[in-house]
Each structure stands twice: as C-alpha cells, then as structure tokens.
Amino acid sequence: MSLVKPAMRGLLAKRLRFHLPIAFGLSLVAAAGFKYTVTEPRKQAYADFYKRYDSMKEFSAMREAGVFESVRPTGK
C-alpha cells in the first residue's frame, strides 16, 4: 500500500479561486456593516448636535468663565 502524492501543481491558483471571492464578499459585508452601524449613526449624532448648537451661547459661557485672555467677562 503506497501513499498518494499530494497535488502541489496549481495548488495556489486552486485555493485562490476558492478563497478570493469569499474574502471579497466578506470584506464588502464588513464595510457595509461598519458604514451602517458606526458611521451613519455618528453622522446623524453630529447633525443633531449642530442643529441645536448655539455658538454665541457657548462663547458667552466661556467668556464668563474666564477662558479667553483677550476678552474680559462682562462683569469686570
């Protein structure tokens, strides 16, 4: 009883033909999943924040807190 020789010729091409489409498909699924579970909610959160954001109110609060050296608080 002799052992059968392994098929080495064309092995890389054969395995790539099988694994490359799977890897490509999984990468597309991962990219789409990341886009819709991470980036879209993040963009929506930023949009919601800046809809209600009042920059003059924030500036006045920081001015009163003494954050700026060039602008004095209104009480002084």
What is the spatial distance between Cα 59 and Cα 65, in angstroms, rounded to a whole number?
Answer: 10
Residue 10, domain member (yes or no): no
pLDDT band, very low/low/confident/very high, at 76 (cuts 50, 70, 90): low
CB distance 24 to 34 below 8 Å: no
Does residue 52 sit within a domain? yes
CA separation for the pair 38, 32 (Å, rounded): 10
Report the alpha-carbon distance of residue 29 to residue 17 in Å, rounded. Answer: 19
- For 14-71, what is each residue's pLDDT tens digit? 999 999 999 999 999 999 999 999 999 999 999 999 999 999 999 999 999 989 888 8
In terms of residue numbers, what domain contains 30?
Answer: 24-75
Residue 1 lies in a domain: no
| Contact call for residues 71 and 63 (beta carbons, < 8 A) | yes
pTM, rounded to two decimals: 0.65
Structural domains of the chain, count:
1
